[in-house]
Structure 1
């Protein structure tokens, strides 16, 4: 289904039904309604996840946050996974929620918080292993595509509007750097937790070689490369100008990305947060390849590219702001032009420490963060109910709960974390779930009733607070 159709849908009807079922609004002392799918209807059930939910709810005095955690943290497993075995290998197809397609980015992020529980639940480990296997198939099919179908006979709604090479089984073909970074992050996190090398077979190695080759291609030192994209649409952020190659960029070592993790087109092709993410991902890839053995040349190629992109970031990604000092730009073109903003989708400038791409204590990041969390960022919205980053994808005055989660995940300040918890507790509009975005003055005006990434990353935040600063949940 067209993602754009969902961004116009308000959740008022659903919110009204659930709010009516609650006796004391958002006080946290009410009997909260059962809005989670019944056990018999869930796609996958994990004993380790259920035990964590039980423990957290029992030990958390803030009953509303406990209720939200129970609804949101397992939402990916409850509603979006199709776990099976194909040719003796686990295979997991993961939809985003209300769109029946698997994004490389979203699928990685949706199962990421479950990795620490793998040692307690071998079935959960197999499910995550299946996500890696499915992502490998998708990358080998087309490294430039961002979203795929499990059923290759299913015809994409974009087939008749997009001017690009659409193969069978592809839902959408928007080139986004992070689409190839997230599977590496998932693989690296899986290996660090489980020590299981069996998932890194010949197909996985072939996919990773293709990732490195695609990044090299999109440095555009030898021409614009094979990828172009245009769409017949009235949405300006859905099309790529200049014959589908984007506005000019001077080759300097950075990787071009035609789209952001929001699936919106970039203005300047060098999307800086995604290039930072690529550096971290390539170094993680190097470590996996070295651990696997007999792949020294591939490991060397990954590291060499990481160092080249890192050097280019130091030379081209930083600009001076008259108020905040040196900050990291959101986009640049290599000709001296910068786009100063941030977007709620991850990778964002705000999320760089969460991704391991920069330390939260780095002065450059701290100055950039001060800019991002201010009204000087054109996509930071502050209203009577919510304050946070949004983006062009939904439009003005719509705050993404994901950005508030990320503000909390990248902070060590208890006051700031508590503020983020309080804000998130009051932005679900009585539904018991997080959403894609909500209006800064009225959280009942939200988009996407079923958006698993927002739910799962909210659960990840709550679990982190529960482990590290449990008093903030009381």
Structure 2
């Protein structure tokens, strides 16, 4: 049976084979679609590309930024009208479906520009509305179809043993799938103070999200969700008849899958639960400020407080020196394991998401351990070093992890090194990928992965704001 892993890894191999030799075209010719073929054009985004690119001394880095930053708008956005209001569908790239997580993350780099661009605001309204309608189709699903009446077009999901509904592309229950739309809504509200997206539909989806979180606290039974998939890859399915490994109800939220779409080893995924605390408080802010819905705000805040208390009691473990660090997953019975995965929410990405303070000692110890050989998915080779994922097997580094390490860094040397690695591991394509071989960056997975491209764009904007001297000098 074909799986998502087969598709994305096969696409990477094909791209590596077909990559143009450097002499076939000008070395830094734009890899963007011609202007007339771009799916969405934002004046504010184009102006930002020009302004920031002019401040980057390294021509290859400037080229990579100009290709990557607008990639979501250039290639993945589909606009429409539903019930007289904007609709926005955002595919991940080389998979023709919309993940709640990916679509939120893909749009995030453009939030600072939304206030100055009316067309961009319309697109955000459409994406927020589409996410709300998708959640109301099935809050347990992670990915959705463009046509809400269609069955899945994903070959690997067609025979899944779960309750598949029309409009659902894949039904892997991941806590972060409901957190990301909350984060996007909050970011949009903070950037624009535009209350238009936060209508009754949005509020209904918010309540459905909170109801799902409470069901998956599993205080009164295991809840309604189960999932099984026929696959030779154990992480593609949930154990024990599709209900997943056991957990003791301690107040955290039980997750079936990680943000990598791989099954959890222990069902309380700590980065996702920390993200839920942050996202629920963001939801409370929007409900109160944009809608005046004090009841929804109070319910969200109460659930956030409950999960936070459970995390403090059950979400940490001791490292080999006896110091407390955040675990990656726990089960509530006292069992825990440590690793980190490049997909966000990760332990490394907690400060980026606002789940912890960047100077928090507990998180700093955790992040340092994640970026080391004490993390079984930390790899180092001739091309770079960084964090990978069980999703892409061993010896594969994810550019997203290098990007996150640079966003976390406060010293110039680390930021420069990360930029060098990113500049030299695009495999001649001018874009970021899902992962690349530690010794050979032309061996990569996913030729078209808009989330990784957008996150790289965020990094360049971040460096331009807080360390402009790094961009002003050759790498």
Q: Taking structure 1 as the reference length, what is the TM-score of the superposition?
A: 0.96
Superposition misfits of 4+ residues, deviation over 3 angstroms: 20-23
Structure-2 change in CA distance of 1:344 and 1:159 (3 Å): closer
- By how many angstroms is 1:339 displaced? 1.6
Q: Which residue of the partner structure matches residue 6 of structure 1?
A: 8
**Which of residues 302, 319, 322 is equivalent to 2:320?**
322
Q: 2:133 aligns with which of 132, 137, 140?
A: 137
- Is it true that 1:313 corresponds to 2:311 in the alignment? yes
- Say which SS state the counterpart of residue 7 (structure 1) adopts: helix
- The 2-side partners of 1:444 and 1:153 are apart by 37
The equivalent residue for 2:161 is 163
1:110, CA displacement in angstroms? Answer: 0.2
Alignment of 1:252-331 (within 5 A): 252-323=250-321, 325-331=323-329
Question: 2:353 matched to which residue of 1?
Answer: 355
Select 2:124's aligned residue among 123, 128, 150. Answer: 128
- Structure 1 runs not aligned, ≥5 long: 24-30
Alpha-carbon contact 2:174-2:256 (below 8 Å) kept? yes
Distance in 2, matches of 1:337 and 1:21, equals: 55
Q: Is the contact made by 2:97 and 2:145 (CA closer than 8 Å) also made in structure 1? A: yes
2:47 is aligned to: 51
Partner of 1:222: 220
RMSD: 1.3
Change in Cα spacing, 1:22 to 1:323, as seen in structure 2 (3 Å) is farther
Indicate the residue corresponding to 1:114 in structure 2.
110
1:382 to 371, 376, 380: 380
C-alpha distance 425-294 of structure 1, shift in aligned 2 (>3 A) = closer
The farther-off stretch of 247-256 and 297-306 is: 297-306
- What TM-score do you get using the length of structure 2 for normalisation? 0.96
- In the alignment of these two chains, the number of paired residues is 466
Cα shift at 1:293: 4.6
Q: CA contact under 8 A between 1:385 and 1:440: conserved in structure 2? A: yes
The answer to whether residue 203 in structure 2 is matched with residue 205 in structure 1 is: yes
Q: Which residue of 2 aligns with 1:393?
A: 391
The separation in 1 between residues aligned to 2:117 and 2:260, in whole angstroms, is 33
> For 1:12 and 1:110, how far apart are their aligned partners in 2?
24
The aligned residue for residue 39 of structure 1 is 35
Q: What residue in structure 2 maps to residue 177 of structure 1?
A: 175
Q: What CA distance in whole angstroms lies between the structure 2 residues aligned with 1:85 and 1:123?
A: 14
1:256–1:269: 8 Å Cα contact kept in structure 2?
yes
Q: Decide which of 40, 58, 62 is 2:58's aligned counterpart.
A: 62
**Aligned position for 2:437:** 439
Greater shift, 219-228 or 295-304, is seen at 295-304
Residues 18, 34 of structure 1: alpha-carbon distance in 2 compared, 3 angstrom cutoff: farther
- Counterpart of 2:23? 20
**Counterpart contact for 2:160–2:229, Cα < 8 Å:** yes
1:459 aligns with 2:460: no
> Is residue 2:447 matched to residue 1:449?
yes
Give the C-alpha shift of residue 197 in structure 1: 0.8
Structure 2: give runs of 5+ residues left out of the alignment: none
Task: Give the SS at the match of 2:40.
Answer: coil
* 1:147 pairs with one of 116, 128, 143: 143
Equivalent position SS for 1:302 = helix
Question: Which residue pairs with 1:472 in the alignment?
Answer: 470
CA contact (8 A) 1:261 1:345 kept: yes
**Is the 8 Å Cα contact of residues 159 and 229 (structure 2) preserved in structure 1?**
yes
Could you report, residue by residue, the CA deviation over 1:4-49 in whole angstroms, capped at 9, with x for unpaired residues?
221233232243x1533367xxxxxxx4123211111110111111
Secondary structure at the aligned position of 1:388 is classed as strand
SS at the partner of 2:211?
A: helix
